[in-house]
Amino acid sequence: MRFGISNFLKAGMAALVLSAGSVTFSTSANADSCWNHNGSVMRLVARGNQRWFYYEEPKQVLRRAGVRRGTLLFNGRKNGNFYSGTARRYSKYCPGDPLEYYVEGPVRRDQLKVTVEGRREVQSQCRGTGRRAWDRLVFTYMYKC
């Protein structure tokens, strides 16, 4: 499901801003922060323990797969210094129909890097091959968006 970042911000940012008073903004991974992931700029949206990584500036090759600003890459939960949830893999052969798979992993102690990993099905032009691959998604904090 695609959920544009602008719609999310309109609907939920007021509540997020009101609840952000207890958040430490110096080094914590907070809402409306930008992160690098494989050469794309991502936007982290946080609401309670829920987390979403959206593409803010996708690299060119992903645009051919239908990825635009606001396209969802990861949604899940933060429990302590650990993320778990659903990641998506986009392909030019099946634009608008990403492969979804479970990922989990740690947040670095300084909160500036998130690494999640999981097994996904290998596809060839939108069809399963029966093989599995291990994926690692690394998000490194860049700046407040």
Residues 6 or more apart whose Cβ sits within 8 Å of residue 47: 12, 15, 16, 31
pLDDT at residue 31 in the model = 63
pLDDT at residue 6 in the model = 40
52 neighbors 44 (Cβ within 8 angstroms) = yes
Q: How far apart are CA 136 and CA 130, in angstroms?
A: 20
Q: What is the pTM for the complete model shown?
A: 0.78
If the chain, 145 residues long, is cut into consecutive pieces of 10 residues, what is the mean pLDDT of each piece? 38 32 38 93 97 97 93 98 97 91 97 98 92 97 96
pLDDT at residue 26 in the model = 34
Which residue, 29, 50, 55, is CA-closest to 40? 55
Helical (H) or strand (E) element with 17: helix 5-19
Fold (CATH) for 5-14+31-144: Lipocalin (2.40.128)
Q: How far apart are CA 98 and CA 42, in angstroms?
A: 17
